[in-house]
Structure 1
Amino acid sequence: MPTMFEGSYLGDGSRISDGARLECGICWHVYDPAEGDEVWQIPPGTPFSALPEHWSCPNCDAPRHKFMVVDAL
């Protein structure tokens, strides 16, 4: 299991709200559910917890567990 760090959602999607924005801990790319992800063809309104398991940062390819919650709307 990957090492988790403070600020991460600890791999548990139920710990984050549907409107939460998360930031990549590697390149600082922000996933905003209101915008979705054009690179991965994720439609707007898709919460981070509903992203496919194989999804990774569209900017640097970091895995999901490297993302930290920045806004818990």
Structure 2
Amino acid sequence: MRTWMCLICGWIYDESTGAPDDGIAPGTKWEDVPPNWVCPECGARKDDFEMVEI
């Protein structure tokens, strides 16, 4: 599982935990997150996220 960070606000998307409050189930890989999904903190697009090591 990988983690992705919003380059605008720093919010972290962790594939193992998903984003259940936003309809993304735990275990959802980044490439399977819908293309129109936006950061729950700042509204940034998926293009504004970068894979990071934690």
Q: TM-score under structure 2 normalisation? A: 0.89
Instruction: Quote the Cα distance in structure 2 between the aligned partners of 1:53 and 1:26.
Output: 17
Write out per-residue CA displacement over residues 9-61 of structure 1, whole angstroms, 9 at most, x where no aligned residue.
Answer: xxxxxxxxxx2200000000000011110231111000111001110111111
**Residues 1:20 and 2:5 aligned together:** no
Cα RMSD over matched residues? 0.9
More strand by share: 2
Q: Any unmatched runs of 5+ in structure 2?
A: none
User: 4+ runs of 1 displaced by more than 3 Å?
Assistant: none
Which has the higher Rg, Structure 1 or Structure 2?
1
More helix by share: 2
Q: Any unmatched runs of 5+ in structure 1?
A: 1-18
